[in-house]
Chain A
C-alpha cells in the first residue's frame, strides 16, 4: 500500500518529546550565543582620517575618540600640571611601591625632605645643575625624580647600562645617584676617565662597604641617601618657584636602531600626556583604580617605563617591576625574559598583580607555559580550546566560563601561582608581537591583551589596540608566523602620518604603507647631533629657547620614528615585516 499523506504525518508521544527537545536546542543555539565585548561596527572605524593628503604622504590619522577637530588631552586631570601634581593629595589610602607601603602624603613628605637635603648637601643650583640617576627601579628613583623636578633640576636617565661611559664623557652631571652595589664600578669609571681631578658628588642608596668608602678619592664626595633625607627632614624646606609644564624635567638617553646614542628631553607636558594616554587604554567598564596592582617589565630609565610608573602613581595603584628591568647589575649576566622574570615582581610585598605591562618575549613564554599545562588534561583541553576559540571568533572572552573552571584556571595557577586569578589585563609593548601569538594569548589568559607600539622618543604608547578588540585577521593562506599583530589606532593624544607612500597604489585603493612620523603632546624633543656631543647649553630648561630643532624633527614638528608601518582599512595599523 503506498504511504498516504496521513501516514507520513503520523505523530505520537515521541514526536512531542522530540519536538520540545528540538525547540529547546534551537533556542539555545540562537540566543545563547556569546555577545561580543565590543560591537564589531565600532571596530570598523578606529581612526579619524584627514580629508586631504600631500603627495608622497598619507593623510593624517588620529584616534577616532579624539577626532580631527578637538585638541589633544594633555593631562589625565585638569589639576595635574607638573610632575609632582601626579602624587594626588586627595588620595589617602596607602599603597605598596615595591617593598614600601606608603600614602601619598608620606610620599610627598619624603620627596620634599630629599629635595631639600640634596640641595643643601650637594650644593646643587636650581636650573643650573643636573643629576644622573643610575638607579634600578625602586622607590628612590621616583623620589629623586619628583624631588629634582620640583626644584627645576633636570635628571638624566639611561635606557641601557652600556650608555654610561659615553654619557659621562659628554654630559658630566653635577651629582650622581646610584646603588651601593654599583658604587665600585662607578668609581672605577670615573678614575679611568681621568676625572678624579673634577669634583664629583655621589649619593648612594644602601650601605657601601667600608673598603669601598676608603677607596674614594679626595675630590669625590659620597653621601648616603638616608643622611640626605634626614638632613632635609630636620630643616625648613627650601621652596623653589613651581616649574612650568613646558619645562624639561628629564633627559633620557637611549641607543637607536643603528646603535648611536640618542637623547631626548622630556617635559612635564610630555609626561602628563603620556599618563593620559595610558589612562585611556582601559575601557570605561574597567578603568585603573587604587585597587589595582601594576607590574611593569619596562625600565624607568626609558620613556615608556616612566609613563607606566607615573600612571601607577597617579591612579594610586601598587606598583613594582620585574627583574629584567634592572639595568645596573654587578654581575654580567642578563636576565632571561620569561615566566620566572614575570613572577619576580611578585617577590616584593605588593598585592597580587592585576595589570601586567610586559614585553612580547614575556608573553610568549607565559602563554607557552600555560597552554602546555592545559594540554595535560588532554580530552578536556581539546573541548576547552575549541570553545574558547569559537568564543573569541565571535568577539567574546571571559575568565568565568565553564572551561576556565575546568581547565584554564588550574593551568594558570600552576604557572603563575596563587595570583593567577587576579590578572585582568595585559599590555604588550617594547617589542613586536608575532601575529600568531595574539589569539592563543587570549585563550590562555582569558583577559584583554592590548598590543601597543612604543618608541623611546615618545612618552607612553604610540599605538594601542582597543582593549576589548579580539579580532584576528589570520586567514587560511596567510603565514601569520612571520607577520606582526596589528597595533591598532594611534592613542588619544597622538597624530600620525606616513611618509614615502606610493601615490598611485593608494589612489587605486591599496593600503598606504611607509615610514611613520608622529606629532603630539607625548612626543619628546630629541637632542640634535651637536647637542649630544658637547655639554654646553644642551639642556635649556625652557625648551622654547633652544636654538637647534633636534635631528629627528621635520618642519611642522613631525618626529620620524623610523618604523615601517601600514594602515588597514579599519584604521588600525600594522608594522610591516
Chain B
C-alpha cells in the first residue's frame, strides 16, 4: 500500500487529525477579551446584572397613587405607615383583582375593618387617616395583616403626610 494521501478523504482526515492533536498538545492559554455572561460560555463568568433590590423610599399619598398597577407597573400599598410592594400579587391587587381598590393607597382602615369598599380609602389630597375611631380588635386585625404582608411581600418604604416629605 503506497503512502498516498492524494485522495481527498484521506487529506481531510489527516488535516482533522493534525488540527485536533495540535489543540490537545498546545491548548490555548490567553484570557478572554471580555468576561462571559453565561456559564456555558466560560468557567470564569459573571452574571450580567445584580440581583434586583428595591430602594427604601418615603412616599406621600400623592406619590404613592401612581403605583396602582393599571399600566403594568409596580403595585404598592400602605398599611399603618409601612409601604409594601405587592406586585407579586397582581391577581389580587391589580386593576381587575378583588382588592384592586387598595392599589396605590393607604389601606389601613380597610385592613382593620376587613372591608374593601371605596369608603375605607381617604382621598389623596387629605391628611392621612388617623385611625382614631377604630376598636382595639380592629387595630389587632390590622397588625395581623401587617405581619402577613411582611412575610409575603417586600417592605419598600414608609408613608408620610403630603407636605412632610
Contacts and interface: CB of A to CB of B under 8 A. Distances in A.
A15 B9 contact: yes
Contacts of A12: 1, 7, 10
A99 B21 CA distance: 53
A268 to B, nearest CB: 34
B124 to A, nearest CB: 24
B31 A475 contact: yes
A473 B54 contact: no
A41 interface: yes
Interface residues of A, number: 59
Interface string B116-146: 0000000000000000000000000000000
A29 B24 contact: yes
Interface in B3-19: 3-5, 7-10, 13-14, 16-17
Interface stretch (B43-51, B61-69, B71-79, B91-99): B43-51
B163 interface: no
B1 A15 contact: no
Given A25-B21, A49-B51, A570 B46 contact: yes
Nearest to A510: B50
Given A475-B34, A503-B55, A511 B43 contact: no
Contacts of A386: 26-27, 29
B148 interface: no
Contacts, number: 139
A567 interface: yes
A57 B52 CA distance: 14
A383 B29 CA distance: 11
Interface in A464-499: 470-477
Interface string A441-475: 00000000000000000000000000000111111
Nearest to A503: B55
A29 B20 contact: yes
Contact of B31 (A25, A29, A474): A474
Interface residues of B, number: 47
Given A18-B17, A567-B50, A476 B10 contact: no
Contact of B24 (A22, A28, A507): A28
A502 to B, nearest CB: 12
A470 B9 contact: no
Contacts of A49: 50-51, 53
Interface of A: 8-15, 18-19, 21-22, 25-26, 28-29, 36, 39-41, 43-45, 49-55, 58-59, 383, 385-387, 389-390, 393-395, 470-477, 503, 506-507, 509, 511-512, 567-570
Given A22-B16, A474-B31, A475-B31, 19 more contacts: A12-B7, A14-B3, A14-B10, A18-B14, A18-B17, A22-B17, A28-B24, A51-B154, A53-B54, A53-B55, A53-B56, A58-B53, A383-B25, A393-B44, A394-B43, A395-B43, A476-B31, A477-B33, A569-B49
Interface of B: 1, 3-5, 7-10, 13-14, 16-17, 20-21, 23-35, 39, 42-57, 154-156
